[in-house]
Structure 1
Amino acid sequence: MDFAIGEDRQMLADTMKRFFAKEFDWEKRLKVIETEHGFDRAMWGTLAELGVLGALFPEDAGGFGGSAFDIGTVFGEVGRAIATGPYLGTLMAGRLLAATDESETLESVIAGEKVLTFAHEPAYDAESGETRDVTASKSGDGWVLDGAKGVVEYIGAADLIVVTARADDGERAFLVERGGKGVEVVDYKLVDGGSGGELRLSAASARELSGVTGETIEAATAAGVVALSWEGVAVMDELRDQTLEYMRTRKQFGVPIGKFQALQHRMATLALEIEQARSAAINAAAHFDKPERDRFGAAAKYTVARVGNLAAEEAIQIHGGIGMTWELPLSHFAKRMVMLGHVLGDEDEHLARYIELMRAA
């Protein structure tokens, strides 16, 4: 079976590789993640000019890609560079905009003129253990939103936020402006160097995204699952490769530690597991437009989260204490991998979802 991504996607991947190698090398990344939001807006604009954001959306929405494999190609390179920025939020929120008459708004996002993010997960109160979500209610000819959303990526750097909310007749989606009346943002740093935040809404005016249904929102999050799966596999590849290089150069008892059979066996097992995760990610992309989409997506997210934890653990254990230091790139890949395993549901959640979907099949 041919798993090649195709000539056009390979050109896109090569373009992103060259760009990140030149404009987002290790020293630049360290500088960027020390900024307030861990995000370089100028670089984001350049990526838009290169067509990276347009690759996430179909032609009828102003892009030139939009397939699951296009999404996977972009996020694979994001993972290899552990690039910071609202890639996931742009993908999911943008796909909701694409389903409405917000073409001008989406065009400004694809062009890099506006930064977009997606607020979907309820906020969690660590003290009470309770969650708080957003509700929508009619106010004259418009809508107002109340409640909170948690861990919204790069919300402090966003211009526009797509928010999902519960209305009397089900789930809807709305567009709000950061800084608008009744909109409060509490942002914070994430463990991987990027930023997230909590969105708090109090009678905040919002523009409804007409035509967006619960099914549309599910499709957007399914695209996010594919993206995270491909990104996770790319991060695992880096963890494996950096660990193998360390095993070739680190000496103990006068020989490279890569000569020790016990470590060879551990890395062989990891290599097999990564290939299993890669196959699951490819399967999720291949079935994205089919009825089995959610089942294959759950299988991919579960597998990538499980193998990702193994990759991070093995990489750090074989490196020893140095594997946890901020100065070593590997530690950043490990942190990113662990975080990816929890975004849009962790391995336990997706395993349960997969079992449920298999029983219903």
Structure 2
Amino acid sequence: MDFDLTEDQRLLTDSVARLLADQYGFEQRKSLLKAPLGWSERLWSQYAELGLLGLPIPEEYGGFGGGPVDVMLLMQAFGRHLVLEPYLASIVLGGTALRLAGSAAQRDELLPALADGTLKLAFAHGERQSRYDLPDVLTTARQDGGGWRLDGAKSVVLHGDCADRLVVSARTAGSRDEAAGISLFLVDAEASGLARRGYALRDGTRAAELSLTGVPAELLGERDAALPVIERVIEAGIAATAAETIGAMEAMQAMTLDYLKTRQQFGRPIGDNQALQHRSAEMMIALEQGRSMAMLAAMSVDAPDAEERARSIAMARVGVGQAGRFVSQNAVQLHGGIGMTDEYAVGHFFRRVMVIEHLFGDTAHHLDRLADQVE
């Protein structure tokens, strides 16, 4: 298999690298964390101008028709700089749901706005009791004339506090934990009966809790048959965050290596210590192992066989999760006390990787899934 980048992919990575090097230094990011939104609307507009928001959107809707590997390259760059903007929530999660489940009219209306940055989506599926169990949905939908009304609550909706529209899952038939009977709906963020409470996650990125009381909604996709779409959305999120984790690990590895070369103790760099050299080498090995698994995830996102796709994505999630934990923990440890301070970047990378570890199912959850397939 050819792993060389195409000319378009090289241009993409170079342009994104230049933009982020200029606009996303560590101090600049800390300033953005204090902004009202917790991210930059100006940079969001620049992403749109560069075509980044339309990267995975088909050309007929104003996008660039890129594939999962293109998204992987972009998310790696975002991971190296701890980008705060809602790309994962809006383009990867919300956009995937819209592309897979939306009617022709819905795609015609919303995908161009998503590509040019005038529309932001959020994907609201998780609930307090569900943890990582995708069929566990208690939010309900009932027909009201020609439309629908939603009642329930959603938790940890990534960037749900700034979205213009929400893709919300709700049960239209069956009981809790049934695979059948789940549907997806589009909800206007200003709809009556919707309450949003935004907050910052441990890594500074934003999320929201949603309360829905008779909220008017528009059906997205086929009634009672949304679970396969939800699974595809989550798989796309796993692949994207796997790539982001690789970018974060690259940054931590480089920072740690530089620290070992420059930190002096007893008149010599601490990197002269053979034990620390071995630890740094082990970090590099883990990084490269994780990179291979992130590539597996990207190449599996569009695989037609659902069972094989799910197995490959779970394997990638486990491999990247284990590598990310090893590299980030050792990066902090090798930096010593300074690695735990808020003023030093490595701790911020550590927190981002640990938050990603608990998105879309942690390592233990996906190991269980793989073990169930073996039995």
Match of 2:346 among 321, 330, 349: 330
Alpha-carbon deviations, 1:199-235, whole Å to 9, x = none? 1111101111134732122112111111011111111
Aligned equivalents of 1:233, 1:358: Cα separation in 2: 28
Does the residue aligned with 1:113 lie in a helix, a strand or coil?
A: coil
Q: Which residue in 2 is equivalent to 1:201? A: 212
Please say if residues 16 and 77 of structure 1, whose CA atoms lie closer than 8 Å, have aligned partners that are also in contact: yes
Does the residue aligned with 1:152 lie in a helix, a strand or coil?
A: strand
Matched, 1:79 2:79: yes
Aligned equivalents of 1:66, 1:122: Cα separation in 2: 32
Does the residue aligned with 2:16 lie in a helix, a strand or coil?
A: helix
Please say if residues 122 and 148 of structure 1, whose CA atoms lie closer than 8 Å, have aligned partners that are also in contact: yes
Q: Which residue in 1 is equivalent to 2:192? A: 181
Relative distance call for 1:353 and 1:89 in structure 2 (3 A) is same
Aligned equivalents of 1:107, 1:134: Cα separation in 2: 30
Aligned equivalents of 2:126, 2:190: Cα separation in 1: 20
Does the residue aligned with 2:287 lie in a helix, a strand or coil?
A: helix
Matched, 1:311 2:327: yes
**Amino acid paired to 1:199:** L
Please say if residues 137 and 171 of structure 2, whose CA atoms lie closer than 8 Å, have aligned partners that are also in contact: no
1:219-234 superposed matches below 5 A = 219-234=232-247
Does the residue aligned with 2:76 lie in a helix, a strand or coil?
A: helix
Matched, 1:295 2:311: yes
- 1:276 Cα shift? 0.9
Aligned equivalents of 1:278, 1:314: Cα separation in 2: 17
Alpha-carbon deviations, 1:96-136, whole Å to 9, x = none? 2123131211211110012211111113599xxxx984221
Aligned equivalents of 2:358, 2:293: Cα separation in 1: 17
Q: Which residue in 1 is equivalent to 2:94? A: 93
Q: Which residue in 1 is equivalent to 2:120? A: 115
Aligned equivalents of 2:319, 2:340: Cα separation in 1: 24
Does the residue aligned with 2:3 lie in a helix, a strand or coil?
A: coil
Deviates more, 1:180-189 or 1:151-160: 151-160
Q: Which residue in 2 is equivalent to 1:254? A: 267
Please say if residues 309 and 338 of structure 1, whose CA atoms lie closer than 8 Å, have aligned partners that are also in contact: yes
Q: Give me the TM-score of the superposition, normalised by structure 2.
A: 0.90
Please say if residues 132 and 147 of structure 1, whose CA atoms lie closer than 8 Å, have aligned partners that are also in contact: no
Please say if residues 54 and 114 of structure 2, whose CA atoms lie closer than 8 Å, have aligned partners that are also in contact: no
Match of 2:110 among 99, 105, 111: 105
- 1:341 Cα shift? 0.8
**Amino acid paired to 1:77:** A
- 1:250 Cα shift? 0.4
> Over aligned residue pairs, what C-alpha RMSD do you find?
1.9
- 1:246 Cα shift? 0.4
Matched pairs, number: 355
Relative distance call for 1:202 and 1:79 in structure 2 (3 A) is same
Unpaired runs of 5+ residues, structure 1, are none
Aligned equivalents of 2:325, 2:138: Cα separation in 1: 29
Aligned equivalents of 1:88, 1:136: Cα separation in 2: 26
**Amino acid paired to 1:149:** K
Q: Which residue in 1 is equivalent to 2:160? A: 155
**Amino acid paired to 2:196:** V
Q: Which residue in 2 is equivalent to 1:22? A: 22
Match of 2:181 among 156, 170, 186: 170
Aligned equivalents of 1:170, 1:7: Cα separation in 2: 45
Relative distance call for 1:189 and 1:287 in structure 2 (3 A) is closer
Relative distance call for 1:5 and 1:294 in structure 2 (3 A) is farther
**Amino acid paired to 1:19:** L
Aligned equivalents of 2:278, 2:156: Cα separation in 1: 38
Aligned equivalents of 2:318, 2:236: Cα separation in 1: 15
**Amino acid paired to 2:95:** G
Quote the sequence identity (%): 37
Please say if residues 328 and 353 of structure 2, whose CA atoms lie closer than 8 Å, have aligned partners that are also in contact: yes
Aligned equivalents of 1:336, 1:133: Cα separation in 2: 29
Q: Give me the TM-score of the superposition, normalised by structure 1.
A: 0.93
List structure 1 segments (4+ residues) > 4 angstroms apart after TM superposition. none
Alpha-carbon deviations, 1:327-361, whole Å to 9, x = none? 111111111111111111100011111223345xx
Aligned equivalents of 1:136, 1:198: Cα separation in 2: 18
Does the residue aligned with 2:184 lie in a helix, a strand or coil?
A: strand
Please say if residues 246 and 287 of structure 2, whose CA atoms lie closer than 8 Å, have aligned partners that are also in contact: yes
Aligned equivalents of 2:362, 2:126: Cα separation in 1: 13
Alpha-carbon deviations, 1:49-106, whole Å to 9, x = none? 1110111223345421342112211211111111002111121111121231312112
Q: Which residue in 2 is equivalent to 1:213? A: 226
Q: Which residue in 1 is equivalent to 2:33? A: 33
Aligned equivalents of 2:46, 2:297: Cα separation in 1: 30
**Amino acid paired to 2:324:** G
Please say if residues 170 and 183 of structure 2, whose CA atoms lie closer than 8 Å, have aligned partners that are also in contact: yes
Alpha-carbon deviations, 1:240-297, whole Å to 9, x = none? 1100000000011211111101111111111111111111111122233322211111
Please say if residues 137 and 170 of structure 2, whose CA atoms lie closer than 8 Å, have aligned partners that are also in contact: no
Q: Which residue in 2 is equivalent to 1:342? A: 358
Please say if residues 5 and 69 of structure 1, whose CA atoms lie closer than 8 Å, have aligned partners that are also in contact: no
Relative distance call for 1:162 and 1:295 in structure 2 (3 A) is same
Does the residue aligned with 1:241 lie in a helix, a strand or coil?
A: helix
Aligned equivalents of 1:13, 1:163: Cα separation in 2: 33
